[in-house]
Chain A
Amino acid sequence: MIKQSNLIKLVLVGVLAASLTACGSNNNGGGNTESDTSTNANTNTNTNTGGNAPAEEEKLEDVTITFQNIYPDPTDPKNGMLKKIVADYEAAHPNVKIELDSLNTDQQKLKLKTQAASKEVPDITIVNPAAQMQPFVEAGLFAPLNDMVEQNGLKDTFTPGILDWYTFDNNLYALPDGNNIGVVYYNKELFEQAGAKVPTTFEEMVDTVKLLKSKGIQPMAIGEKDTWTGSFLFMNVLLRTNGGPGFLADVAAGTKTFEDPAFVEAVDAFQSLVQAGAFQEGATSFDYNAGENIFKTGKAAMYYMGSWATGGIETSSVNGKVGVFKFPTVNGKGNADEFMLAPGSAFAISANSKHLQETKDFLNYFMLNFPKEAFAVKGAVGLAQIVEGDFKAAGYSDMAMEVLDLFKQVKGGDLSFDNTMNPGTSQGHLTSIQNLFVQKKDSAEVAKEHQSAYETNKQ
């Protein structure tokens, strides 16, 4: 009797304990949310990398490779392309299984950071170039790909110079999926309605904005909740007022400060654009997609964005009415053939991968086939690799052809702010620029904000 009731008690206590901890984990305060997500992330990868059954002598060992990527959207051609290459490879290598971990860009960034903190980086993951991948490289999380890129002539498929953004101390750590430039898309129909012409200088652009505005047409669209969008445009202005690329590099080298006249002039010019009413009301509450949708639904006349937006615009309702132009010179300064460069997100391999060689072989195959397959699904505008094939004959739109034409005219340029400066300084910059969308500020003060953000975050 006593024994039995003890048993019941034990069960009850167990239930109680379980229910209490279930409540407890919900209430453990704001400070613990990070650790929660990190454990979730870890369990995901753990289950993915498991399952290496001991193989027989003559058979090849079963290998599972985790492939974290940022093509989760099944309607995006790149998603299908990714699956196709993976399926082809798996068919040719029956012992290899590729586990896809497809995430949105922001989710992936966050997940990788939590995984990196516990040194559990997936076999293949996605990183951004230059300054954004530097902390990962310095922590020794990625395997050098120098030998792999030489195999099967993979290196020669990349456009010259692009791999430099992913190289640290002569070691290449990642292979980019794209290479884009900042361009201005414009809606020809709306321009015609207002009787506006394609601006060739920044001053004309401001006038065009005023003209469009006076005709009741929304001049430009932007998704400034995401902050990098405005920064990308601003940096293009700075690229002009500085008379060429390298302003941030000069700041980092200590030969210039943010209080340099070129920077202040850029802020002035940028503010003149904002104050002319270029952007939609409440721009800072529109995220990237919502901002782009204003343009894609034909409700705005101009849209400044990286050339990666081409594909999205092609599949929208304004397809066929859209042209592109280069960002114009500002106050007669700069060269319109210098662009904001956006070397794409890139595939990197974990240094701690259990199957380093197999992973390298797969990525080699993947990148070799990438341009061909991307071309087939009309996603080959703005690739980091040389694409063979006739775009026109393959049915690419006129706009896509125009963009491809601009690529041929590129004579250098700058990377975005957050790809050049450390994350702390970048955040200071991004909020400072976002602030210009909601209030007019003294340009010298903006420059000062930047300088102090830079100094407090300098290592």
Chain B
Amino acid sequence: MNVLRVSKWTIAAFVLPCLILYVGLVFVPILVSVYSGLLDWNGIGTSKFVGLDNFKTLLFDDPVFWPSVRRTLMFAVFSMAEIPVALFVAMLLSRFVKKPNFLVSAYFMPVILSVVIIGQLWKTIYNPAAMGGMLNQVLDQIGLSSWTHSWLTDPSVAMYSLYFVALWQYLGYHTLIQFTGIQNIPADVYEAAKIDGAEGLKADWYITFPMNIPIFKISIVLAFIGSLQAFDMVMVMTGGGPAHATDVISTHMYNMSFLSMKYGYGSAIATFLVALCLIATVVINFVFNRLERKYT
């Protein structure tokens, strides 16, 4: 700091505008949300302060809440499990494909499409065969009629159908991130390893994995936070139905705040979601810091 010969006050003055904006756009809404969570309020009329009642009902008496938390976490688990696959694809691309950029962009395509389009597309694919559903028709054609399902309306498979679409959409995204990470590993490291007799898988194990950990971490964090916020796709494809079978935390929050008009209760759910995000981020950071220290 002294090198720059700038007083601490100047630094504070420069940081301040950004700080104010950040606090105003992030922390204030969160605090307002936490406070609304303590109210019995329909969002329009007068509100009543009820202390922690909303949280009590949420955690102990809401039959929809915990299943929706479970689905959200499953969503996160699947999304994170996808990242090693993305890394693997990225490794294959950078090793065996001469001009990988085209393929990477092709895989990336679904990400730039709007979720509404993706949702409508997959809805038609998942439709019953009688309504032109591609998946079921293909299964019928190849003699696997017993495998056909009402993919989006059978409560036991609907959620998995949704997971799959999200995985399909974001595979290209994470592949791109991992691919860039791998490209950034200096080639001379591999050359040195080659001289020492490490090639192929061995080089990957000792060079690609450890050196790619920070990038891997970015993907994991993005996947986790992204799945906690999963909302649009669920809304477009099933709306949380049939009968809450595909409700995740955010759709439950939406239903409560806007359809049941329990704004206070919805805010309590939002608060829970924020807390979950924060805890998850801390945990993921902790795990990866240890990993990084171990390998680098």
Contact = CB atoms under 8 A, between A and B. Distances in A.
Given A29-B229, A31-B273, A32-B30, A427 B238 contact: no
A284 B44 contact: no
A284 B273 contact: no
Contacts of B127: 282, 285
A170 interface: no
A252 interface: no
Contacts of B50: none
Contacts of B239: 225-227
A46 to B, nearest CB: 19
Interface stretch (B13-21, B91-99, B169-177, B190-198): B13-21
B48 to A, nearest CB: 11
Interface residues of A, number: 51
Interface stretch (A302-310, A393-401, A431-439): A431-439
Contacts of B258: 110, 113
A424 B241 contact: no
B46 A31 contact: no
B243 interface: yes
A20 B19 CA distance: 10
Given A113-B43, A227-B241, A280-B130, A20 B260 contact: no
A441 to B, nearest CB: 10
Interface in A18-38: 20-21, 24-25, 28-35
A435 B243 contact: yes
B231 interface: yes
A416 to B, nearest CB: 15
A94 B278 CA distance: 57
Contacts of A33: 231
Contact of A139 (B44, B250, B263): B44
Contact of A423 (B14, B123, B260): B260
A16 to B, nearest CB: 7
B44 A117 contact: yes
Contacts of B155: 438-439
Contacts of A13: 14, 17-18
A116 interface: yes
A141 interface: yes
Contact of B152 (A9, A138, A285): A285
A366 interface: no
B113 interface: no
B29 A28 contact: yes
A283 interface: yes
Interface string A130-145: 0000011011010000
B270 to A, nearest CB: 4
Interface in B239-261: 239, 241-245, 249-250, 253, 255, 257-261
A284 B18 contact: no
Contact of B44 (A21, A29, A136, A434): A136
Contacts, number: 147
Given A31-B271, A281-B131, A423-B260, A437 B277 contact: no
A410 interface: no
Nearest to B231: A30
A282 B46 contact: no
A315 to B, nearest CB: 23
Contacts of A10: 14
Interface in B105-130: 123, 126-128, 130
Contacts of B32: 35
A31 B33 contact: yes
A233 B189 CA distance: 70
B228 interface: yes
B260 A34 contact: no
Contact of A32 (B33, B130, B153, B243): B33
Nearest to A115: B44
B71 to A, nearest CB: 14
A44 to B, nearest CB: 18
Contacts of A138: 45
A17 interface: yes
Contacts of A21: 18, 21-22, 25
A30 B21 contact: no
B241 A434 contact: yes
A24 B26 contact: yes
Instruction: Find the residue from B14, B30, B42, B46 having the highest chain A CB count within 10 A.
Output: B42
Given A13-B14, A17-B18, A31 B270 contact: yes
B18 A117 contact: no
Interface in A308-343: none
Contact of A17 (B21, B26, B152, B244): B21
Interface of B: 14, 17-18, 21-22, 25-26, 29-30, 32-33, 42-46, 61, 123, 126-128, 130-131, 133, 150, 152-155, 228-229, 231, 237-239, 241-245, 249-250, 253, 255, 257-263, 267, 270-271, 273-274, 277
* Closest CB pairs A-B (n = 9): A435-B243, A31-B270, A281-B128, A139-B45, A17-B18, A423-B261, A284-B242, A285-B152, A438-B242
